[in-house]
Structure 1
Amino acid sequence: MVKMIVSDMDGTLLDSNKNFPPDFDQIFQELKKRGILFVAASGRSYPKQREIFQPYLEDMFFICDNGASIIHRDQWLYKNTLPREKLEKLLTACEQIPNILPILCAPLNCYYQPYSPAFEPYLRSYFSTGNILNDVYSVSEPILKVAICDLQNAAVNSYPKLKHELDDELNLVVSGELWMDAMNPFVNKGKALQFLQKKFSISPAQTMVFGDFYNDIEMLARADYSFVMENANDDMKQYGRWIAPSNDHYGVTREIWKYLSSADCFLT
């Protein structure tokens, strides 16, 4: 029987307009009634996730910053911050790449340099708070990850260049068409999910996961009930046991309802 359901947000739970499925509240209340934990797992930082899930904060868990932090009821259960020397080396490498904006993600704030107006809609969509600094090297707050907004396409511009230079020192992952993230080695959504599974004595056989992008691969591997979204890139679909309908067809809630009405739901 499934005891924990974990879903990525963008391209998975949320539709293309960044809205919940119309039946999400009904699903959430049903999971709560049955004692099934719900976890939002995202590359987004906690302040933005908190804003989006405001009505549900008391009864869910958050895997944030691609696994660099785990939060429940505004309490940090886990944090993994970047060493100063690695952060500075990454920022120096970013200075050599055109049309990108590194965003330093702290637990409750983010920091970036003055930017072109072209970046504005992407920052507004993914970050609730932000601090513009002429010198991001001056940030003293612990940094969980660096998100990189790449107007030229992260997979073909910033990712290969940074991977060539820093692959031995950081976990670099493409998290969206215009986004990539840099965290400490072995920091990913799968490791964060493993932390929660151990904390609550929940096995992969009791875990359901939904994802659509490359930063979801490790957490899909931590669940027997693994779903990749129909809208995912074709090379992602090998990582799920099943293919869920697209995010715009509310695949996450459709598959959860299907499971809740199945015989498997009542097996121990």
Structure 2
Amino acid sequence: MDLSQIKMVVTDMDGTLLNSNHEVSDLFYELFEGLKSKGILFAAASGRQYHSMLHKLDAIKNDIIFIAENGALVKKGNEEISSTPLDRDVLDQLLGIVDSIDNAHAMLCGKYTSYFDGNSLKFLDQLKEYYSAYEIVDDYNKVSDEIVKIAVYHETNAENYIYPKVSHLEEKIKVKVSGLNWVDLNHVHAHKGNALQTVMEQHNIKPSELLVFGDYNNDLEMLQLADYSFAMANAHPNVKKVAKFETSSNNDFGVERILEKLI
């Protein structure tokens, strides 16, 4: 495996760059300096909101590209590269469907703030890990912000209990199982693949110059863009089918091991 032509590294966060305690390793930050010295671009791509990603990667926030909300918001520094919000009529339709699903809890994800209603308060401690900037509202219809994603939470298993109830919408919106407890609903054109494609065109990056890491279904499109795509050992089976290579788990420095070889 010859990584000598790599000009850009992109990694998912939860289950990939972050360990099970949602931490970024000190080793990664050391390796990032090596990437920077070689002029290799770095992007973090996540279903998380922008502010949550910013919090996790605060030490390098001015040097990297953020692909947030599954690609619905892309930023570097103060520059907003792209934004793909949901249409209001689609948003209202989706909220009606989610409301009819037992034990489903919908969060509205604006560009920079998320909105929880009273039905989600008992899960707030879990949700705050992913949504560090949030408001509690009594009625989602009163939220006037641009909404880039609806995140639907199920405390047991989102793939089994939420996904079957919304999968029929996949031609109209982007439906992604993004973790054990989460299904994300985005604009049909808002996914990590489209967002990364925009960044690649902006920086003239070819597939042979791109290294990508992922672990869940919301990573599939961006993995398909890279000649060097890595599934984590802990990845969903769908990811292992798409990725060209595999690395060790997120708890065993899977990203860092490959970055060491790259540097």
State the TM-score, normalizing by the size of structure 1.
0.94
The match for 2:231 is 228
Taking the TM superposition and a 5 Å limit, the aligned residue runs for 1:172-251 are: 172-251=175-254
The offset of 1:167, in angstroms, is: 2.6
Query: Following the alignment from structure 1 to structure 2, what is the Cα–Cα distance between the partners of residues 167 and 18?
Result: 30
Conservation of the 8 A alpha-carbon contact between 2:115 and 2:136: yes
The match for 1:266 is none
Alignment length (residue pairs):
259
Query: Following the alignment from structure 1 to structure 2, what is the Cα–Cα distance between the partners of residues 233 and 111?
Result: 29
The match for 1:86 is 90
1:156 aligns with 2:160: yes
Conservation of the 8 A alpha-carbon contact between 2:24 and 2:56: no
The match for 1:22 is 26
The match for 1:168 is 171
Of residues 134, 151, 156 in structure 2, which corresponds to 1:147?
151
The match for 1:58 is 62
Conservation of the 8 A alpha-carbon contact between 1:8 and 1:211: yes
Matched residue type, 1:179: W
The offset of 1:22, in angstroms, is: 2.9
Conservation of the 8 A alpha-carbon contact between 2:71 and 2:193: yes
Residue 116 and residue 147 in structure 1: after superposition, are their counterparts in 2 closer, same or farther (change >3 A)? closer
Query: Following the alignment from structure 1 to structure 2, what is the Cα–Cα distance between the partners of residues 235 and 171?
Result: 17
Query: Following the alignment from structure 1 to structure 2, what is the Cα–Cα distance between the partners of residues 255 and 152?
Result: 33
Query: Following the alignment from structure 1 to structure 2, what is the Cα–Cα distance between the partners of residues 109 and 170?
Result: 21
Query: Following the alignment from structure 1 to structure 2, what is the Cα–Cα distance between the partners of residues 216 and 167?
Result: 16
Conservation of the 8 A alpha-carbon contact between 2:28 and 2:256: yes
The match for 1:102 is 106
Report the secondary structure of 1:59's partner residue: coil
Matched residue type, 1:148: V
Deviates more, 1:34-43 or 1:16-25: 16-25
The runs of 5 or more residues in structure 1 that have no matched partner are 261-268
Conservation of the 8 A alpha-carbon contact between 2:13 and 2:44: yes
Partner deviation per Cα, 1:227-266 (whole Å, 9 max, x = no partner)? 0000113342111111011000011011111122xxxxxx
State the TM-score, normalizing by the size of structure 2.
0.95
Conservation of the 8 A alpha-carbon contact between 2:217 and 2:236: no
The match for 1:265 is none
Report the secondary structure of 1:186's partner residue: coil
Conservation of the 8 A alpha-carbon contact between 2:74 and 2:83: yes
Of residues 138, 159, 183 in structure 2, which corresponds to 1:134?
138
Q: Percent identity?
A: 37
Deviates more, 1:136-145 or 1:107-116: 107-116
Report the secondary structure of 1:128's partner residue: coil
Conservation of the 8 A alpha-carbon contact between 1:146 and 1:182: yes
Query: Following the alignment from structure 1 to structure 2, what is the Cα–Cα distance between the partners of residues 239 and 10?
Result: 19
Report the secondary structure of 1:144's partner residue: strand
The offset of 1:118, in angstroms, is: 4.3
The offset of 1:116, in angstroms, is: 4.9
The offset of 1:186, in angstroms, is: 2.6
The runs of 5 or more residues in structure 2 that have no matched partner are none
